[in-house]
Structure 1
Amino acid sequence: MAESDAAPTVKEIPGSYGVPFVSPIRDRLDFYYFQGADKYFQSRVDKYHSTVIRLNVPPGPFMASDPRVVAVLDAKSFPILFDVSKVEKKDVFTGTYMPSTSLTGGYRVCSYLDPSEPSHAKVKQLLFNVLASRKDAVVPAFRTNFTALFQTMESQLASAGKSDFNKLNDNTSFEFLGEAYFGVRPSSTELGATGPTKSTKWLFLQLCPLMTLGLPKILEELLLHTFPLPPLIAKGDYKALYKYFNDAAGSALDSVEKLGLSREEACHNLLFATVFNSYGGMKVLLPGILGWLAKAEESLHARLAKEIRAAVAGEGGKVTLNAVEKMELTRSVVYEALRMDPPVKYQYGKAKQDLVIESHDAAYQVKKGEMIFGYQPLATRDPKVFDKAEQFIGDRFLGDEGKKLIKYVVWSNGPETETPSVANKQCPGKELVVLVGRLLVVEFFLRYDTFTADVGTILLGSQVTVTSVTKSSYSSSSSSSSSATTTTNF
Structure 2
Amino acid sequence: MPPTKLAADDYSSSGLPIKPIPGSYGLPFFSPIRDRLDFYYFQGHDAFFKSRVSKYQSTVFRVNVPPAFSMASDPRVIAVLDAKSFPVLFDLSVVDKTDVLTGTYIPSAALTGGFRPLAYLDPADPRHAALKQLLFDLLAARGPRLIPSFRAAYSALLDSLEAALANSGPADFNTLNEATALNFVCEFLFGGAAPSTTAHKKAIKWLFFQLHPLATLGLPKLLEELFFHTFHLPPFLVRSDYKALASYFAEAAKPVLDDAEKTRGLSREETLHNLVFVAVFNAYGGIKLSFPRILRRLAESGPELHARLAREIRSVVRSEGGAVTVAGLERMELTKSVVWELLRLDPPVEYQYARAKKDLVIESHEAAFRVKKGEMIFGYQPVATRDERVFRKGGEFVADRFVGEEGKKLLKYVYWSNGRETEEAEVGNKQCPGKDVVVMMCRLLVVEFFLRYDSFTAEVGMLPLEPKVTVTSITKASSLDQSS
Alignment TM-score, normalising by the size of structure 2: 0.96
Matched, 1:313 2:286: no
Match of 1:70 in 2: 78
Correspondent of 1:95 among 100, 103, 108: 103
Cα distance between partner residues in 2 of 1:90 and 1:450: 45
- Which SS does the other structure have where 1:259 is aligned? coil
Matched, 1:246 2:254: no
Correspondent of 1:15 among 23, 29, 49: 23
- 1:206-285 residue pairs with structure 2 within 5 A? 206-257=210-261, 258-285=263-290
Gaps of 5+ in 2: 1-11
Matched, 1:350 2:358: no
- Which SS does the other structure have where 1:405 is aligned? helix
The answer on whether the counterparts of 1:448 and 1:470 sit within 8 Å (CA) in structure 2 is: yes
Match of 2:475 in 1: 470
- Which SS does the other structure have where 1:213 is aligned? coil
Cα distance between partner residues in 1 of 2:179 and 2:317: 27
Cα distance between partner residues in 1 of 2:275 and 2:15: 45
- Which SS does the other structure have where 2:25 is aligned? coil
Cα distance between partner residues in 1 of 2:68 and 2:291: 31
**CA-to-aligned-CA distance 1:297-332 (integer Å, 9 cap, x gap):** 311111111110111111110111111111111111
The answer on whether the counterparts of 2:129 and 2:428 sit within 8 Å (CA) in structure 1 is: yes
Cα distance between partner residues in 1 of 2:40 and 2:443: 32
- Which SS does the other structure have where 2:216 is aligned? coil
**CA-to-aligned-CA distance 1:47-106 (integer Å, 9 cap, x gap):** 000000000001234354211000000010000001111110000101111001000000
Q: State the shift of 1:16 in Å.
A: 0.4
CA RMSD of aligned residues (A): 1.2
Higher alpha-carbon deviation: 356-365 or 315-324: 315-324
Q: State the shift of 1:126 in Å.
A: 1.0
Q: Report the CA distance shift for 1:444/1:22 in structure 2 as closer, same or farther (over 3 A).
A: same
Q: State the shift of 1:186 in Å.
A: 2.3
- Which SS does the other structure have where 1:226 is aligned? coil
Cα distance between partner residues in 2 of 1:53 and 1:97: 20
One-letter amino acid of the structure 1 residue matched with residue 50 of structure 2: Q
- Which SS does the other structure have where 1:159 is aligned? helix
Match of 2:7 in 1: none
Q: State the shift of 1:260 in Å.
A: 2.4
Cα distance between partner residues in 2 of 1:135 and 1:274: 15
- Which SS does the other structure have where 1:383 is aligned? coil
Match of 2:48 in 1: 40
Matched, 1:406 2:411: yes
Match of 2:199 in 1: 195
Match of 1:108 in 2: 116
Match of 1:145 in 2: 153
Matched, 1:297 2:305: no
One-letter amino acid of the structure 2 residue matched with residue 362 of structure 1: A
The answer on whether the counterparts of 2:317 and 2:483 sit within 8 Å (CA) in structure 1 is: no
The answer on whether the counterparts of 1:70 and 1:371 sit within 8 Å (CA) in structure 2 is: yes
Cα distance between partner residues in 2 of 1:342 and 1:63: 30
- Which SS does the other structure have where 1:193 is aligned? coil
Matched, 1:133 2:141: yes
Q: State the shift of 1:5 in Å.
A: 9.4
One-letter amino acid of the structure 2 residue matched with residue 331 of structure 1: K
Cα distance between partner residues in 2 of 1:364 and 1:259: 43
Match of 1:484 in 2: none
Match of 1:168 in 2: 176
Cα distance between partner residues in 1 of 2:107 and 2:253: 25
- Which SS does the other structure have where 1:53 is aligned? strand
**CA-to-aligned-CA distance 1:150-182 (integer Å, 9 cap, x gap):** 000001111122101111111111110011000
One-letter amino acid of the structure 2 residue matched with residue 297 of structure 1: G
Match of 1:58 in 2: 66
Cα distance between partner residues in 1 of 2:70 and 2:52: 24
One-letter amino acid of the structure 1 residue matched with residue 226 of structure 2: L
The answer on whether the counterparts of 1:348 and 1:373 sit within 8 Å (CA) in structure 2 is: yes
The answer on whether the counterparts of 2:314 and 2:483 sit within 8 Å (CA) in structure 1 is: no
Q: Report the CA distance shift for 1:64/1:405 in structure 2 as closer, same or farther (over 3 A).
A: farther
One-letter amino acid of the structure 2 residue matched with residue 452 of structure 1: T
One-letter amino acid of the structure 2 residue matched with residue 253 of structure 1: L
One-letter amino acid of the structure 1 residue matched with residue 386 of structure 2: R
**CA-to-aligned-CA distance 1:347-368 (integer Å, 9 cap, x gap):** 0000010000000110000000
**CA-to-aligned-CA distance 1:108-143 (integer Å, 9 cap, x gap):** 110110000011111111111111110011100111
One-letter amino acid of the structure 2 residue matched with residue 393 of structure 1: V
Match of 2:4 in 1: none
Cα distance between partner residues in 1 of 2:57 and 2:351: 21
Q: Report the CA distance shift for 1:30/1:134 in structure 2 as closer, same or farther (over 3 A).
A: same
Cα distance between partner residues in 1 of 2:248 and 2:68: 36
Cα distance between partner residues in 2 of 1:472 and 1:5: 57
One-letter amino acid of the structure 1 residue matched with residue 269 of structure 2: E
How many correspondences in the alignment? 472
Higher alpha-carbon deviation: 276-285 or 250-259: 250-259
Matched, 1:435 2:443: no
One-letter amino acid of the structure 2 residue matched with residue 236 of structure 1: S
Cα distance between partner residues in 1 of 2:171 and 2:72: 39
The answer on whether the counterparts of 1:63 and 1:97 sit within 8 Å (CA) in structure 2 is: no
Higher alpha-carbon deviation: 60-69 or 230-239: 60-69
- Which SS does the other structure have where 2:398 is aligned? coil
Q: State the shift of 1:489 in Å.
A: 5.8
**CA-to-aligned-CA distance 1:441-464 (integer Å, 9 cap, x gap):** 001100000010112222222211
Cα distance between partner residues in 2 of 1:152 and 1:6: 57
The answer on whether the counterparts of 1:15 and 1:55 sit within 8 Å (CA) in structure 2 is: yes
Q: Report the CA distance shift for 1:58/1:38 in structure 2 as closer, same or farther (over 3 A).
A: same
**CA-to-aligned-CA distance 1:246-278 (integer Å, 9 cap, x gap):** 100111111113222111111100110110011
One-letter amino acid of the structure 1 residue matched with residue 276 of structure 2: L
Correspondent of 1:384 among 381, 389, 403: 389
Cα distance between partner residues in 2 of 1:87 and 1:362: 20
